[in-house]
Amino acid sequence: MFTDHTLTVYSILVLHGPNLNLLGQREPGVYGLTTLNDINQMLIAEAEKLQEEGLTLKVTAFQSNHEGALIDAIHGAIGQHQGIVINPGAYTHTSVAIRDAIAGVAIPTVEVHLSNIHRREAFRQHSYIAPVAIGQISGFGAESYRLGLRAIVAYLQQQSLNTHP
- Give the number of residues in contact with ligand CA2, rule: CB under 6 A: 16
Q: Does 48 bind ligand CA2 (CB under 6 A)?
A: no
35/152 Cα distance (integer angstroms): 23
Q: Give the DSSP letter string of 80-130.
A: T-SEEEEE-GGGGGT-HHHHHHHHHHT--EEEEESS-GGGS-GGGS--SSG
Question: How many other CB atoms sit within 10 Å of the CB of residue 71?
Answer: 20
The one catalytic residue in 31, 91, 128, 145 is 31
The one catalytic residue in 10, 81, 91, 113 is 113
Question: How many other CB atoms sit within 10 Å of the CB of residue 108?
Answer: 20
Is 75 among the catalytic positions? no
Contact between 99 and 29 (Cβ < 8 Å):
no
Identified binder of ligand CA2 from the candidate list 23, 71, 107, 152, rule CB under 6 A: 23
- Minimum distance between the CB of residue 91 and ligand CA2, rounded to whole angstroms? 8
Instruction: Indicate the residue among 92 and 95 with the shorter CB distance to ligand CA2.
Output: 92
Is 155 among the catalytic positions? no
* Residues found near ligand CA2 in the complex (CB under 6 A): 19-20, 22-23, 26-27, 31, 87, 89-90, 92, 113-115, 117, 124
